[in-house]
C-alpha cells in the first residue's frame, strides 16, 4: 500500500505556461508578454513585491469556473491580474514545494486571495466568484526565464 505522503507528492502530468502578464504599475492594465525574466525581485517589468508574493499563478481551468459563477463564459486572464496562467497541473497541490516554471525555480507559498478589484473587473459577486479559484503566490528561488509553452513541474 502506498503512503499518503507519496500520493500527495505525485502529479499526473507536467503543466504548461499558457499566458504571461505583467502589471507595470498599480492599477494599470496588464501587459501580455511572450516571456519574462524571473529574479530575486520578482518578474522584470512587474510591480509585484519581492518575497513570497513575487509571482502569482492561476490555473487556466479556473478561468471557466470563475466565469460560470458569474453566469458567463471564461474570464480573461488579464482581468484576474495574475502573472502566469498554467494548464494541466493542480497548482494548489504544489503549496510549499519548489517548482520549475520554464528555466526559473519558484516556491509556491500559498493561495492568492482575490482583491476588491475583482468587483470592478467582473461586477457584483466578482470577489466571491474568485474565492478559492484565484491561484497561488510564489517566491523566486532560482532566477530564470519563463516563456509561453514552458513546462511546469515539481522540482522533487
Residue 6: which pLDDT band, with cuts at 50, 70 and 90?
confident
CATH number at residue 111: 2.40.33.20
Quote the pLDDT of residue 70: 97
Residue 119: which pLDDT band, with cuts at 50, 70 and 90?
very high
| Cα–Cα distance measured from residue 51 to residue 54, given in angstroms and rounded to the nearest whole number | 5
Mean per-residue pLDDT of the chain? 93
Residue 92: which pLDDT band, with cuts at 50, 70 and 90?
very high
Q: What is the domain count for the chain?
A: 1
Summarised one tens digit per residue, pLDDT across range 38-54 is 998 899 999 877 777 89
Domain holding 126, by residue range, is 4-154
Amino acid at each position: 500500500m502506498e503512503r499518503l505522503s507519496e500520493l500527495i507528492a505525485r502529479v499526473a502530468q507536467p503543466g504548461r505556461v499558457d499566458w504571461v502578464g505583467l502589471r507595470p504599475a498599480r492599477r494599470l492594465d496588464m501587459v501580455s508578454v511572450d516571456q519574462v525574466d524571473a529574479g530575486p525581485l520578482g518578474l522584470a517589468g512587474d510591480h509585484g513585491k519581492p518575497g513570497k508574493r513575487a509571482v502569482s499563478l492561476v490555473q487556466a481551468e479556473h478561468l471557466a469556473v470563475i466565469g460560470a459563477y458569474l453566469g458567463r463564459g471564461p474570464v480573461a486572464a488579464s482581468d484576474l491580474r495574475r502573472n502566469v496562467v498554467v494548464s494541466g497541473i493542480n497548482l494548489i497541490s504544489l503549496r510549499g514545494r519548489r517548482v520549475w516554471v520554464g528555466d526559473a525555480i519558484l516556491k509556491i507559498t500559498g493561495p492568492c486571495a482575490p482583491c476588491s478589484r475583482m468587483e470592478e473587473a467582473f461586477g457584483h459577486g466578482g470577489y466571491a466568484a474568485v474565492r478559492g479559484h484565484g491561484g497561488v503566490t510564489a517566491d523566486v528561488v532560482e532566477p530564470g526565464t519563463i516563456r509561453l509553452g514552458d513546462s511546469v513541474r515539481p522540482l522533487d
